[in-house]
Structure 1
Amino acid sequence: MIEGADEQVVVGEDVSASGADAEVLGHQLRSKAKELHELPDVPLFFGRLDFAARESAGDHAGQSYHVGRRRISEHPAAPPLVVDWRAPVSRAFYQAGPQEPQGVAVRRRFGWAPGSKGDSADLTGLEDEWLEAEGGVSVGESRIVAREIERPRVGPMRDIAATIQPEQDDLVRAGLAASVCVQGAPGTGKTAVGLHRAAYLLYTHPQRVQRGGLLILGPNRTFLTYISEVLPALGESGVRQSTVEEILVEECGAAVSKARMYEDTDSAAAVKHDARMAAVLRRALYARVRPDAAPDSFAVPDGSYRWRVPSAVLTRIVEAVREEEPPYATGRERVRSRALRHLQEQAERRSGPVNNLWLHKTGRSRPMSAYVDAVWPRVRPEEVVAALLGDADALAAAADGILDVGEQQAILWAKPPRSYRSAAWSAADLVLLDEVAGLLEHPAGYGHIVIDEAQDLSPMQARSIARRAAFGSLTVLGDLAQGTTPWAARTWPELLGHLGKPDALVAPLTTGFRVPGMVVALTNRLLGLLDVDVPPARSLRQDGELRIRRADDVLAETVDAVRGALAHEGSVGVVAADGEPVSALRTALTAAGIEVGGPDDPRARVTVLGASVAKGLEYDHVVAVEPAAVAEAERRGLHRLYVVLTRAVSRLDIVHSRPLPFPAAP
């Protein structure tokens, strides 16, 4: 296939076509060849379906299909050697069972050695499940699936195409128009479900999704680096992966200089991220609309004649448009067009129909533009926000009955800039700027957006996403128990309302495949202390290790725990409260001769990181250092600790000198 794609690039250069057509064809052929060359070296298939030779198998009766990460064929017109895991026929690989075999006689799973590129010598085992006979291997007993799930992990997140479970498959294959919210306990694979759903939609609806665009939103750049190789491994490249803040900085453009951004106080950030700010900003923006600013009348010259519009008519035009509540920029042009229509009616009564040149000239005439600027002035988002935050009287007028005096004082700038052009902005100000920009005109949207760690979105951040998904759909991934921001969601319906998808299906995933049972039992006790209504998780894994190590010298005990962890395969994550504890641990481990990396180095064997960046990451062995310090470091510290303890997928060591902030035993 790769050789054929390369050949088509060469042959395509000689195709007789117009210059534009040849360029488009050349781009398509080069893109396909590049995509194939960039495929990772992994086994091309992981399963096989043998359909029964009977009517219940439908069109597939008597057929056998290998299932892999993408379609493999010797020729585009020939039957595939391997079918894509997203193809309709492949669904039986994930869904068929003894109770409902779906026409499948035998499902085979192939076991491959870690790091295998698909050489036959790397085949470690075969497992046949006879769905229409007794004695076959059941899904829950598959050693190959268990081995793949439990395999030690160093480096970026892997795809789960070979191990998708039926309840996960249902979510992955939900229709493009459906918005889905996955409430997933730690280790249930919610992130993998979201990424595989993105790959499925790109495969099933390529033109619609690519035309609208697909966006992956994560909580931070470290997390996005960790998941960056999943979609390419599934044959999908070129998907944008970003954070909400990166999107807002980019779309605010020249208005925001990252070098001049400032940090809000906690109280100011909390108010700015509150949904009530949307009403304050709308009031501040539309306060600039002034029907009473219309002149007594205005006249537009037309040769030796002058057309006039009475002030009463002008005022009615502005008031009528204001009541319709269009986007601000649309309303401005609507006022212009209605005033122009009034002039047109006068002109046509006197002289007959007017042409387009007359309409354009009159609509853009100086008197007309002066009138529109007076009653519905042109504004920029940063102009509106700066005027609001820099003027106590303007803020009081816009926030009257919405924010109390203390809340207004919290967000008011102590030293207003001379103009909005010299203003410095905070991360929380970005959501205000985006809200106003959305009031001015609708932003460009996406066909589908996948949002991970969605429980940490503020209402105003959610509104910014909703504007970009107004005509698309969402896959919302999160865990209310892992909400760590001051504005973290307590319930999904509330957040889904802010995201503009109040009717989205909320599907819980409570069965863990990655976090061992003893770790889940421990974290379920911590879960009981959190202020969220989330069902306890359960794990299918009975392996793993949990050790609680009390020590007077926490640094020395941590070094010893890491040395013990290095005796096993896989990655080691050492997690502590942000700041000085992380620096001290890094120094102690380095002094002990242990090479350590940071969270942005996903291939490091030992990673030392602060609790605030642990979300979404996984390590075979986690050493959680001084849980009490993690719990005290922030307002929702217990939620942060819950995140830290559930990063372990094989072994967990808890090192502490202070009392634990949760019951260590039932």
Structure 2
Amino acid sequence: MSLQDHPAYPQEQAHLQKTLSLIARETGLAREEERERREALEDTRRRSGEGAALMLHELQYRMTSQALHNLQLAAKAPYFTRVDFTQSGETAPTAYYIGKAGVLDSRTQTPWVIDWRAPLANLYYAGQLGQVSYRAPDGEIEGELSLKRLMTIQDGQLQTIFDTDVVAQDAYLQNVLGQSKDDRLKDIVSTIQREQNDIIRAPLRGPVVVQGAAGSGKTTIALHRIAYLLYVHRGELAPSQMLILAPSPLFLDYISAVLPELGVDQVRQWTFPQLCARLLGKDMPRLQTEDPLFTLLDPAAPQAQKQDLALAARLRGTLAFRDAVARYLEQVERSLPPKEGFTLEGQTVLSGEEVLRLYLQDLKPFPLKRRMEELKKPLRRRVSEMLGALIAAREERAAAMALLLRRTSPEDSPQRRAAMQRIYAQRDQAVHALREQIRVYPAAAAAALTPPRVMDAYIAFLSGPVPQGIDPQAWAALSRVALPALQAGRAAEEDLPALVLIRRYLYGLHEEMAIRHTVVDEAQDFSPFQFDLLRTLAGNSSFTLVGDLAQGIRAYRGTTAWREDLSAVFSDPAPAFLGLTTSYRSTVEIMRLAGTVCARRPYPGMVAAQPVLRHGEAPALFFVKPRALGGALAARIQRLLDEGYRTIAVIARDENECRPLHRALQKALGQPVQRLTPKDTHYAGGVMVVSAPLAKGLEFDAVLIPDVSAGRYPGSDLDARLLYVTMTRPLHRLYCYCTGELSPLLKAEDFEVEG
């Protein structure tokens, strides 16, 4: 049925025009209010510069600016659905339109568009036609849902209308999912499914852990959850109190449009190393340029080196390693205070017992550097109290010498006068020196308590004996892997949790942050130590952790079992473990192949992904000669471009494979091909060559895997995870090429074999 043939088209078109007119009017009012708020803010800055009045005006201006921004977004697509709901006790249904941002008629104070995060919006996300209910602030609201109408509006133009039942809703979803991919992740407010909605609206308190299949919308759901929490807890939560940790700067750029589309900005979005750089300040080391993962992937790397890397990485992520670092820091703490205390000219300033009580008890909440500074205060007070007596002693000594001189030289003579002058000059010099000594004494004495440099402390810890509870073999591997690099001034990402912990204990953090909720994407790549550090830094357990163990290509250092690894970190409240099993990204045919690979190397508790019923071409397998690979890839890419696909990725196993592929494709295609590297911070779409680890989290119209031979994917768990990641990136097309014997993770009958 065409748009114009839908019986409700005239009615909905008229309502849309009325809505756009209302938004235009409200936008004008909001723009004027923003101007007034800005002028008031600037005037307050000029007059007072700071204080409560300035904070109030800044808050009012931000709120007005946000309201204006939301109206400008609403002008392009005011809403995406209409629900007709008859509340119990009423006789006729009320039509509610739901959109990305609420729109209020300021003249009548009537909600014209309901915000998707409002309780009533659950009628769309969770309600089926018939008797339904939703939870409002005043309690449970019951009634009958008689209509769910889905609409697509672009740039103020009505594009589609679906009166939903199961068939129509699937058709609408497939219409959205079937579109070509561009260079940014988009919001999904119009297609949020029930299992996704439950995660978005989970309570703020406590950790929510989401095991999500590839393409299940984990990242997007986590971002929508941030927008939801800020809406529900407005006035209590600020965007700057939300933290997103993502796997790479490239990925952060890829997801950068979602929150602004939802009317949210100023959320902190970093990688874990970027966060650590802010916490460590000048103590942030240079990171090693060589990713250990690529060494583990290199078939030519010695097996002993790979074993050391894996053991060292795993150890540094354990809570046992955290505990060993903490015990070492306590040893450093106890070693610094002088047992004999502090003395001045043979007199006790602070006894050893007093120093220990102040340093190890009264000042215990402070970092060691701060304790050193705080100890200057009692030292300064005590020596100030001693100053009078010390000066008096010098004056008495000078007076005694003068008296002796008078007795031994009774005659007043130039010689005696000169001697008397020397006595009093020496007294004055001694008093002056004493005052100077008293002035610098607190700092000089406290300097004995100066903690070691962060890196020096870490190196000393790793150079020591095997700590209690640590496997000696893993400790030896860590010494071999980490110490030479650290002594040369370079650290691995796995060293950062320990370095942050040491900096916090010794000096305090370079930047303190008020974080009320933390989102970790690709959480399976984080270790228990990292999670514990984040919990400690935030001072709360309000987390959203999303990941997929099937994509755990960094399992050698990360999480291998959600419950076992996270229950030891989060205990009060215990984590809520939720699942997203439906995959919305790839076609049934692509997900069937990826699931086959995953099943051949399963992880504990694995649940197979269930693709949305969207069919497409079956994945194809081509056997080619190595010298013909570049030409074959280029020919396929050109065909895909001719078909209108906009994002096409050649996903290699590692960075070493990317280099020659990129050169060959540039030459064969005769046009620029982007090569994505770990240093890249901008994702532009188009045709690209990228390694599998870097492609994780991204999605493309089509993916070409350049070599699925046994030489590239011998069949280990890591090979299976890499291949699964690669195969679950495309929305529409997947092409695999083999230059030799096929990987044991694949079988020819899995494909439509060509060539």
In which range does the TM-score fall when normalised by the shorter chain? 0.7 to 0.9
Which residue, out of 624, 628, 631, partners 1:556?
631
Structure 1 Cα separation of the partners of residues 447 and 207 of structure 2:
41
CA distance change for structure 1 residues 66 and 490 in 2, over 3 Å: closer, same or farther? same
SS in structure 2 of the partner of residue 515 of structure 1? coil
Q: Which amino acid aligns with 2:722?
A: R
Q: Distance in 1 between matches of 2:619 and 2:289?
A: 43
Q: Which residue of 2 aligns with 1:33?
A: 65
Q: Residue 238 of structure 1 aligns to which amino acid in structure 2?
A: Q
Q: Structure 2 counterpart of 1:537, which letter? A: A
Query: What SS does structure 2 have at the residue aligned with 1:559?
Result: helix
Which secondary structure state, in structure 2, belongs to the residue aligned with residue 287 of structure 1? Answer: helix
Instruction: Tell me which amino acid in the other structure corresponds to 1:97.
Output: Q
Matches within 5 A, 1:139-178: 141-178=169-206
Describe the SS at the equivalent of 1:197. helix
Task: Answer yes or no: is the 8 Å Cα contact 2:649–2:700 preserved in 1.
Answer: yes
SS at structure 2 position matched to 1:662: coil
Partner of 1:117 in structure 2?
A: 155
Letter in 2 for 1:196: H
Which deviations, in whole Å up to 9, do the C-alpha atoms of 1:276-324 show, x marking residues without a partner? 33233223322223469634454589xxx977655456557767679xx
User: Hey, what's the Cα distance between the residues in 1 that align with 2:108 and 2:456?
Assistant: 59
Question: Given the alignment, which residue of 487, 501, 504 partners 2:557?
Answer: 487
**2:145 aligns with one of 96, 100, 105:** 105
Residues 308 and 513 (structure 1), Cα distance of their counterparts in 2 relative to 1, 3 Å cut: closer
Q: Say whether the 8 Å CA contact 2:601–2:717 is kept in structure 1.
A: no
Whole-angstrom CA distance in 2 between matches of 1:515 and 1:523: 10
Deviates more, 1:225-234 or 1:582-591: 582-591
Which TM-score applies when normalising by structure 1?
0.82
Contact 2:97 2:114 in 1 (8 A): yes
Q: How far 1:406 moved relative to its partner?
A: 2.2
Determine which of 525, 528, 531 is the counterpart of 1:462: 531
Q: Which segment is superposed worse, 643-652 or 462-471? A: 462-471
Q: Which residue of 2 aligns with 1:527?
A: 598
- Residue 428, structure 1, aligned to residue 511, structure 2: no
Name the counterpart of 1:289. Answer: 333
**Structure 2 gap ranges (5+):** 1-25, 134-142, 293-304, 387-437, 751-755
Q: How does 1:109-508 map to 2 (within 5 A)?
A: 109-112=149-152, 116-120=154-158, 123-124=159-160, 126-129=161-164, 137-138=165-166, 141-210=169-238, 213-256=241-284, 258=286, 267=308, 270=313, 271-290=315-334, 294-296=338-340, 298=342, 310-311=351-352, 328-329=367-368, 332=371, 336=375, 374=448, 377-389=450-462, 392=463, 395-396=464-465, 403-404=472-473, 406-407=476-477, 409-411=479-481, 413-414=483-484, 423-440=489-506, 441=508, 444-485=513-554, 486-497=556-567, 499-500=569-570, 503-508=574-579
Cα distance 1:379–1:157, how it changes in 2: closer, same or farther (>3 A)?
Answer: same
Q: Give me the whole-angstrom Cα distance separating, in 1, the residues matched to 2:62 and 2:520.
A: 31
Q: Write the letter of the residue equivalent to 1:545.
A: E
Deviating more after overlay: 511-520 vs 18-27:
18-27
Partner of 1:592: 669
C-alpha offsets along residues 157-207 of structure 1, whole Å, 9 cap, x if unaligned?
A: 111100111111111011111320110011211111111101101111123
Q: Distance in 2 between matches of 1:71 and 1:477?
A: 28
Distance 1:293 1:34 in 2: 54
Report how far residue 88 of structure 1 moved. 1.2
Match of 2:104 among 40, 50, 73: 73
Distance 1:540 1:415 in 2: 48
CA contact (8 A) 2:589 2:619 kept: no
The CA deviation string for residues 326-357 of structure 1, in whole angstroms up to 9 with x for no partner, is 564399479959989x999x99xxxxxxxxxx
- 2:80–2:150 contact (8 Å) kept in structure 1: yes
What residue number does 1:2 align with? 27
Is the 1:46–1:67 contact (alpha carbons within 8 Å) kept by the matching residues of 2? yes
Q: Which has the higher mean CA deviation after the structures are superposed, 546-555 or 238-247?
A: 546-555
Q: What corresponds to 2:426 in structure 1? A: none
RMSD: 3.9
**Equivalent residue number for residue 641 of structure 1:** 723
Change (3 A) 1:506 1:140: farther
2: distance between equivalents of 1:511 and 1:397?
46
Give SS of 2:235's match.
helix
Aligned residue for 1:573, secondary structure, equals strand
Deviations 1:361-399, CA, capped at 9 Å, x for gaps:
xxx99777677665x54344233124335xx4xx22757
% same residue: 25
Question: Residues 208 and 447 of structure 1 are in contact (CA less than 8 Å); yes or no, is this contact kept in structure 2?
Answer: no
Cα distance in 2, alignment partners of residues 543 and 414 from structure 1 = 53
Distance 1:505 1:400 in 2: 29
Structure 2 length as normaliser, TM-score? 0.73
* Secondary structure of the corresponding residue to residue 250 of structure 1: helix
Q: Which amino acid aligns with 1:329?
A: L
Residue 493 (structure 1) shift:
2.0
Question: Which whole-Å CA distance do the structure 1 matches of 2:224 and 2:687 have between them?
Answer: 28
**Helix, strand or coil at the partner of 1:649:** strand
Deviation at 1:244, TM superposition (A): 0.4
Distance in 2 of aligned mates of 1:29 and 1:396: 58
Bigger mean CA deviation after superposition, 619-628 or 577-586: 577-586
C-alpha contact (below 8 Å) 1:186/1:646 kept by paired residues: yes
- Between 1:456-465 and 1:44-53, the stretch displaced more is 456-465
What is the alpha-carbon distance in structure 2 between the residues aligned to residue 650 and residue 551 of structure 1? 21
Change (3 A) 1:415 1:68: closer
Instruction: Tell me which amino acid in the other structure corresponds to 2:516.
Output: G
SS of the residue corresponding to residue 713 of structure 2 reads helix
Q: Which residue of 1 aligns with 2:430?
A: none
CA contact (8 A) 1:298 1:367 kept: no
Contact between 1:256 and 1:425, CA under 8 Å: does it hold in 2? no
User: Is the 2:662–2:675 Cα contact (8 Å) retained in structure 1?
Assistant: no
Offset of 1:71 from its aligned partner? 1.1
Structure 1 or 2: larger helix share? 2
Letter in 2 for 1:637: D
Report if the CA contact (8 A) 2:129-2:144 is conserved.
no
Q: Secondary structure, in 3 states, of the residue corresponding to 1:514?
A: coil
Q: Distance in 2 between matches of 1:311 and 1:529?
A: 65
- Cα deviation digits, residues 238-292 of structure 1 (max 9, x gap): 2121110111123222223649978777635514444433233223322223469
Q: Go from structure 1 to structure 2 and tell me whether the alpha carbon gap of 1:498 and 1:617 turns closer, same or farther (over 3 Å shift).
A: farther
The answer to whether the 8 Å contact 1:462/1:495 transfers is no
Work out the CA distance in 1 between the residues paired with 2:271 and 2:359. 39
Using the TM superposition, give the Cα deviation of residue 641 of structure 1 relative to its aligned residue in structure 2, in angstroms: 1.0
Higher mean displacement: 223-232 or 437-446: 437-446
Residue identity opposite 1:237 in structure 2: D
Give me the whole-angstrom Cα distance separating, in 2, the residues matched to 1:484 and 1:637: 8
1:52 match: secondary structure: strand
**Aligned to 1:6, what secondary structure does the other structure show?**
helix
1:92 alignment counterpart? 123
Aligned counterparts of 2:716 and 2:675: Cα–Cα separation in 1: 22
2-side partners of 1:90 and 1:183: how far apart? 25
Residue 579 of structure 1 deviates from its aligned partner by: 3.1
Unaligned runs of 5+ in 1: 130-136, 348-363
| Contact 2:287–2:493 under 8 Å retained in 1 | no
Q: Distance in 1 between matches of 2:185 and 2:239?
A: 28
**C-alpha displacement of 1:476:** 0.3
Distance 1:439 1:250, change over 3 A: same
Change in CA separation of 1:306 and 1:530 when aligned onto 2, cut-off 3 Å: same
**Match of 1:66, SS?**
strand
- Alpha-carbon distance change, 414 to 592 in structure 1, aligned in 2, over 3 angstroms: closer
| SS state at 2:83 partner | strand
- The 8 Å contact of residues 207 and 542 in structure 2, kept in 1 or not, is answered as yes
d(CA) in 2 for partners of 1:329, 1:211: 33
Q: Distance in 2 between matches of 1:397 and 1:54?
A: 69
Larger Rg: 2
